[in-house]
């Protein structure tokens, strides 16, 4: 039986990942061509071992194709007002439809991200439009973080994230 490792995401990280911050989802296809899509929200499992990021299947078609092909993902979560940034990487990404409650998570994310960006000069209408997507087009990418890094600009950027368990 495999040894269960402690999750890389602690409660504080989980709160940060699920608040109104920028989410960029990256992947590479089999030719190592990178692709990127904007996330529209995040759900961290109660045991913090898996993370699900949401995106538009249409806008993120190349990301979806890449993760279906190889399961590898890199997600950057960044708070524009402070530049606090966390990067998670996974190798077991699965594409799934939304679960009950996910539409509410996505709606709250959109509202919170608009509030985060408004003091920086970005209007709510712009942000809501940027993240707009028909509900039937939304999908989730669920993965187990196998690497986690602080990417906040400064001397500790790139250091492995340490969970406070």
Note down pLDDT in tens along the chain; length 165 residues.
344 578 889 999 999 999 989 999 999 999 999 999 999 999 999 999 999 999 999 999 999 999 999 999 999 999 999 999 999 999 999 999 999 999 999 999 999 999 998 988 888 888 878 888 899 999 999 999 999 998 988 988 898 887 664
Structural domains of the chain sorted by starting position, each given as residue range(s) with its CATH number in brackets = 11-150 (2.30.110.10)
CA separation for the pair 59, 133 (Å, rounded): 9
Which pLDDT does position 1 carry in this prediction? Answer: 36
Residue 140 contacts residue 56 (beta carbons within 8 Å): no
CB-CB contact of 128 with 115 (8 Å): no
CA angle 130/132/133 to nearest 5° reads 135
pTM of the model: 0.91
Q: Are 43 and 23 in contact (CB under 8 A)?
A: no
Q: Which residues contact 165 (CB under 8 A, 6 or more apart)?
A: 6, 10
């Amino acid at each position: 039986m495999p040894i269960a490792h402690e999750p890389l995401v602690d409660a504080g990280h989980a709160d940060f990942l699920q608040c109104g911050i920028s989410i960029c989802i990256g992947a590479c296809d089999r030719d190592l061509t990178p692709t990127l899509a904007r996330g529209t929200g995040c759900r961290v499992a109660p045991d913090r071992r898996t993370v699900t990021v949401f995106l538009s299947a249409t806008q993120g078609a190349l990301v979806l194709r890449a993760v279906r092909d190889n399961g590898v993902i890199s997600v950057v979560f960044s708070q524009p007002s402070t530049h606090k940034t966390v990067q998670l990487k996974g190798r077991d990404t699965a594409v799934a439809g939304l679960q009950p409650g996910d539409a509410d998570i996505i709606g709250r994310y959109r509202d919170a991200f608009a509030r985060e960006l408004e003091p920086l000069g970005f209007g709510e209408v712009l942000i809501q439009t940027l993240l707009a997507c028909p509900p039937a087009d939304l999908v989730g990418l669920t993965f187990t973080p196998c690497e986690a890094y602080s990417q906040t600009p400064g001397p500790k950027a790139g250091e492995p994230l340490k969970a406070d368990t």
